Amino acid sequence: MRGWRRHIHHHPEAAGNEYHTAQYVFDVLREAGLNPELVLDGRGVVCDFGPDNGQRVALRADMDALEMPVGGREKVIHACGHDAHTAMVLAAGQALASNPDRLGEVGIGVRLVFQPAEEAAEGAEEMVQAGLLDGIVRAFALHCDPRLAVGEFGVVVGPMNASADKLTIDFGGEPTGYSAVDASTDKLAVDFNGPGGHTVHPEETADLIRAMSEFTATLQILLTGHIGADGTIEAAFGQFRAGEKMNAIPDSGRVEGMIRRAVIKYPIVHNLLQQRLQELKQRFDGLTYTLDHEPDADPADPSGPVGRPDGSVDLIHAIGEFTRDLDDALTERFESGKIVTVFGKAEAGYDINASHGAGTLTGTIRRAGVDKQEVEQFLNQRLTELKERFPGLKTQLHHDELVPTVVNDPESIVLFMKAIASLGPGAATAIQMSMGGDDFAHFLNHTEKSGAYVNVGIWSGEGDKYSLHQPPLGLDERALAYGARALAGTVLASGAAATTSTFPSSDRI
């Protein structure tokens, strides 16, 4: 089992490209004497065995890795535990298939489902549409949880994972430039760095794009409020870039711009920049920065004007203003713990000396019991207010649901609980609903009696606890056996339950 996980871990494939992983899973199952089938053009695998009596349950594993920036370079890595999920389902499947008499005794058939493209929120729906979940009574799956120790399982009755939406906002307006060049001019660039992480848990890392937005949105106010009146100093940013994926908080980003100053001396400005960046560093845990601020030109008459052409839009300033407190505003409107909004990608501008006429923010909104239409109305209202502040600004909102809420069926959770109880006293731990979305919701919505999704602990019990989507994940491979045994036991419990009409109480969860 560890060998399977390590092979997949060292051969990661991004969503939509799981061809090698699927072939590897197919070969492992064939070598075990089973009859797997490659599906979805070779990107997925299904494998049926056991009695074909109309009582068949599915065990699902997602196989794709993440494309994400690591150390300033784009990499494909397993930082969400999908390699472990695949190994657990392979092991559970082989254990069950090796005991056909027991499956016959409880009267339950099994379908192993190895799914592509979970990270893209596409694979589960593809499998459902292809009919690969037809005839399934219940579906079960596990997800690695680095907050729980090995041997622990996180359990929720009812909503387990929030709905996840993709949020993209396009900004446009007349480019900003400067008509006057007789003021002193400084080049300004700041590289921001942080641990990175999953957009579902911005509190566990440095929300990099929000920190950058705080800097760009408030710098002009600080400059005029502390060291110069309007018209004597002006800052404007020409580039703002961070991140590659909507659901991964980036670990690096960069802003570039110009500071134009009349009379005000360079050291005074430089000290204020350092002070502001230190404040942000203290506020955003794990944030670091590198400031590059050098005088570019000192004209013969440094007292000249620093203004910009009328009618231009300071685009990056507008984007920063929108982003810096959006999550707080949504939380205030819809209640804390019910909604999380984080941007994973931001790009605007092309030249240090002028804001480009276009920019885009891409991120996720996680909703727990919050209506999508109400959120959309709120976002449109915020954008309307922003356009009133920045005349000439144009915006376009794209707000699309990626996955519905994962809702655990109480009867199916009880089946999982019966299996978990055999793995040790206190193995089941009640946890809070996760704000992370998962397209396993499509499986649960399609099966006859829904199913359940449970977290499996992967923390060794020593050292740091990491976040999903934050390498290194810190997976203790002892968790693989616990996960496989829980899945296999749940299948057998499902078969036994099918012969009765009552279920034990779930009050202990």
Mean pLDDT by groups of 10 residues along the chain of 509 residues: 97 97 98 98 98 94 89 86 98 97 95 96 97 97 96 96 96 67 80 88 90 95 78 85 89 91 87 96 96 76 50 84 94 91 92 74 94 97 95 94 95 96 93 93 96 97 84 91 98 80 37
pLDDT (0 to 100) of residue 503: 40
C-alpha distances in Å from residue 72, one per residue of 77, 89, 304, 446? 14, 34, 40, 41
CB 209 within 8 A of CB 344: yes
Q: How far apart are the first and last CA of the chain?
A: 29
Contacts (Cβ under 8 Å, ≥6 apart) of 464:
474
Q: What angle do CA 136, 458, 39 make, to 5 degrees?
A: 35
pLDDT score, position 327: 93
A 10 A CB-CB count for 483 gives: 29
pLDDT at residue 263 in the model: 78
Residue length of the chain: 509
- For residue 356, which of 148, 501, 144, 170 has the smallest C-alpha distance? 170
Question: Smallest Cα–Cα separation from 349: which of 496, 447, 435, 240?
Answer: 240
pLDDT, position 15: 96
What type of residue is 202? Answer: P
Cα within 13 Å of Cα(69), Cβ side: 23
- Residue 430 has a pLDDT of 96
Query: Could you tell me the sign of the dihedral formed by the alpha carbons of 196, 319, 237, 188, in that order?
Result: negative
Position 507 scores a pLDDT of 35
Q: Of 43, 21, 37, 48, which is closest to residue 491 (Cα–Cα)?
A: 48
Residue 315: partners with Cβ closer than 8 Å, 6 or more residues away = 171, 172, 173, 175, 176, 348, 349, 355, 356, 357, 358, 359, 393
* Omega before 472 within 30 of 0, i.e. cis: yes
Residue type, 9: H
- pLDDT on residue 297: 61
Cβ-based neighbours of 203, under 8 Å, separated by 6 or more? none
Would you state the pLDDT for residue 356? 59
Instruction: Answer yes or no: are the C-beta atoms of 119 and 433 closer than 8 Å.
Output: no
SS3 104: helix
DSSP-based helix, strand, coil % in the chain, nearest 5: 35, 30, 35
